[in-house]
Structure 1
Amino acid sequence: MAETIGPIMDAGAQPACAGCYEIGDTSELPYGFLPKLTSSLAWQPDDILARRDETMLQLTQSDLDEINDSLGGFKRPGFFTIRGLTPSEWDARENIIVHAGIASYFGNKRALQQNYYSNTADAILFFLASAKGFHSDNGDNVSLYCRQVAVTGGDLYLSSTWAIYNELAAHHSGDEELRTKKAPLFYFRHGKLIVDYQKRPLCGSKEEARDPRLKPITLKQEEALSVVDKLAYENAISVDQQAGDINFFNNLGLLRARSAFENDDDQQVRRHLTRLIFRDEVEGWDIPEGMREEWRKYYDHDPAVEVFREEPTPWAWSLTGHD
């Protein structure tokens, strides 16, 4: 509750700068200083007392029940969706504020992201309309905010890596080639299976060449990756996405894929999702030693470089990805 708490100092006390400027005298203000600030931030205590409803959101029991239900869903299958936002009513900056604010309830540490593509617009991931196979990202949890859906396609698919592992253990126990010294895919940490499944660094792609310092993958390793892909598709579900949805999912326990999509010819209807990657430093899973160097690259950064880019920018580091 906002209330007056003064006086902060004795009525006769004078601040150190007393006498520097007379109230209303703007002739000696430093260069660039405005004579008066007009803003909702320029409030007096009486203003706040009259606007208490603007400074407090009292959750109802229904709100608390909904939050608990959402948390329960997040802990069980590893994903859930928040529905009901209206991105068309906000500009790009406001949509990012909404997305980041809601996501902050589920993780306090955001990862930097980078577009590893050329400077031509049609090569940016945001503009690539082709399908994306099952993969994981560099981070603990991923959040996708659907600001606009495509005319057709662009469907989100999720697949449980724990179910994939069970199938491998039961029927493909000989596929130990899935683990390599340079790029392990499966880890166990405190009884939890953690998967780092990113084929692009292993195999290369049209947009990103394979690291020449890595040894070529063997035929058996290629076959093992194909088995994982096959099992991921067989075990996948399609997650319905509408404009205003925010999808949250556990990136350490699930793989995701995306179908190809088409936008309007005039780009008036254009698929646009923003992506946040984050972790909870208290409740988050313990990261295996083999992944920590890569994790430090994305999470251990100076707050000064934390930028939320409103639109996709080639090669630029940002807390906001565009999917």
Structure 2
Amino acid sequence: MVIEPTTEPDPLCWSGTNYRSLHHYIIHLEDGDISELKTALEFWKTGMNGSPASVSKETFPLVHLASRLEKLALNLHKGSGFAVLRGLNTKDFSAEDNMLIYLGISSWVGSHRGAQNKKRDIVTHITDAKEWSNIPHEQRHGIHTNTALPFHNDMGCEILALQYREIAKQGGATSVSSATTICAELAVDHPEVLKELMTADWPVQLTAKPTRYARLPVLAFYEGRVLISVDPGRLGLHPATAGIRDEGCDLNESQIKALEVLGQVAEKHSISIAAQPGDILFVNNLALLHKRDAYLDAETRRHLVRLWLRHPDLSWEIPEEMKAPWKVAYGPIEEAGSFLVPRDRYQIVPEKEYKVPKYSSGSAAWLIDSDEQ
């Protein structure tokens, strides 16, 4: 693949070192917006009052706020690639109502919701719950610890949505970094790294039993856009399957070096999001990398709620060689694989009992779990 130069200004070519305004990406909800959300919530309860899966633009109607959310969606796909919606006080609502409002808002940003694991959980709770204290961090997914997570993508996701229910006492900031900017620097200073990232030879683990890898690129230039899809936790051997070696499942020295340089350049150009409780962060997950700092909790625990969204009209085309994780998240059940069940699940609150994953780690995604749990 060859990256073709262009004279057109690219709104995704930004850097945290010279971003025009650290508050430019924040969209503030006004009193009228909050009233409209409450009205839409009551409309849903009166007309539907069923599964959260039924929340949509049609069942959660917005008028004035809809146009702002549509502009937000446009910015995700044709602008800077991220935005924060601020002003909702989650403490004014029950856990269920918070979920319904979050789903309602998100429906206007991306009406398709992706499955995040083999059980087809549509909602994921990112927290280090007190009830899980008997399970060592080493046995949990990274998002269920308070440790730092490196720059990565949620592989398979198009639009990443994170609602901040509670923030940490110290640390825990989310940072984002543009793949377009990263790619431009790599092309000049590290062309060998850029070539490595774009080579379809990265072993991405898809299933655990039988152990199956797909050799994919983690970065591509496609239809005039830079697309990135990389999670260090899903590349190469997982410790639980280390005894079952497949050809090509190890990262080579060039790939290890490429990940190191990628992380360094991403850090150089990143923006740290100073989130507040109630914020909803939307990220174009094909255009930006994100990471999380380590954190310390207070009596209340840092708690984010994650959705994987897709906008059917604005959605970016994805090259076929990068589609395998995407098909699992958004594709039909028969295409995604028999290990998925057809019923979507919406967990209102984190589960009380933590089920230790046998295989999947990763920074974000769980889709390599096998049926045998």
Give 2:263's aligned residue: 229
Name which of 168, 185, 202 aligns with 1:167.
185
- Alignment gaps of 5+ in structure 1: 1-38, 43-54, 316-320
- Asked if the contact 2:218/2:322 (under 8 Å) is kept, the reply is no
Give 2:273's aligned residue: 239
| 3-state secondary structure, aligned to 1:228 | helix
- Asked if the contact 2:81/2:283 (under 8 Å) is kept, the reply is yes
Name which of 233, 238, 242 aligns with 1:200.
233
Compared with structure 1, are the counterparts of its residues 87 and 224 closer, same or farther at alpha carbon in structure 2 (3 Å cutoff)? same
Q: How does 1:1-323 map to 2 (within 5 A)?
A: 59-60=63-64, 63=65, 66-67=68-69, 70-71=72-73, 73-74=75-76, 75-114=78-117, 120=135, 122=137, 123-137=140-154, 138-175=156-193, 176-178=195-197, 179-181=199-201, 182-203=215-236, 212-213=245-246, 214-264=248-298, 268-301=299-332, 304-313=342-351, 314=355
| 3-state secondary structure, aligned to 2:251 | coil
- Asked if the contact 2:196/2:255 (under 8 Å) is kept, the reply is yes
Give 2:124's aligned residue: none
How many Å separate the matches in 1 of 2:222 and 2:62? 40
Deviations 1:75-127 (A, max 9, x none): 310011110111112222222111111111111211111399x9947524453
How many Å separate the matches in 1 of 2:306 and 2:109? 14
Indicate the percent of aligned positions where both proteins have the same amino acid.
Answer: 28
Amino acid at match of 1:70: L
How many Å separate the matches in 2 of 1:241 and 1:232? 20
How many Å separate the matches in 1 of 2:172 and 2:243? 26
Amino acid at match of 1:93: E
Cα distance, 1:282 vs. partner?
2.2
- Alignment gaps of 5+ in structure 2: 1-44, 49-58, 120-131, 202-214, 334-340, 358-363, 366-373
Cα distance, 1:68 vs. partner?
6.2
Compared with structure 1, are the counterparts of its residues 58 and 177 closer, same or farther at alpha carbon in structure 2 (3 Å cutoff)? closer
Compared with structure 1, are the counterparts of its residues 206 and 144 closer, same or farther at alpha carbon in structure 2 (3 Å cutoff)? farther
How many Å separate the matches in 2 of 1:56 and 1:286? 28
Amino acid at match of 1:190: E
Deviations 1:59-81 (A, max 9, x none): 45xx5774465355433100111
Cα distance, 1:180 vs. partner?
3.8
Amino acid at match of 1:199: P
Compared with structure 1, are the counterparts of its residues 271 and 308 closer, same or farther at alpha carbon in structure 2 (3 Å cutoff)? same
185-194 vs 164-173, which moves further: 185-194
- Asked if the contact 1:203/1:210 (under 8 Å) is kept, the reply is no
Deviations 1:113-158 (A, max 9, x none): 1399x99475244530000000001211100000010111110100
Deviations 1:213-270 (A, max 9, x none): 2432221221111110100000111111000000001000000000001112xxx311
- Asked if the contact 1:150/1:262 (under 8 Å) is kept, the reply is yes
How many Å separate the matches in 2 of 1:41 and 1:69? 28
| 3-state secondary structure, aligned to 1:166 | helix
- The two structures, once aligned, show a CA RMSD in angstroms of 3.3
How many Å separate the matches in 2 of 1:107 and 1:56? 13
| 3-state secondary structure, aligned to 1:113 | coil
Cα distance, 1:188 vs. partner?
2.2
Cα distance, 1:203 vs. partner?
4.5
State which structure, 1 or 2, has the greater radius of gyration over its C-alpha atoms: 1
Compared with structure 1, are the counterparts of its residues 244 and 167 closer, same or farther at alpha carbon in structure 2 (3 Å cutoff)? same
How many Å separate the matches in 1 of 2:189 and 2:273? 28
| 3-state secondary structure, aligned to 2:256 | helix
How many Å separate the matches in 2 of 1:152 and 1:56? 36
Compared with structure 1, are the counterparts of its residues 241 and 164 closer, same or farther at alpha carbon in structure 2 (3 Å cutoff)? same
123-132 vs 241-250, which moves further: 123-132
TM-score, scaled relative to structure 1 = 0.71
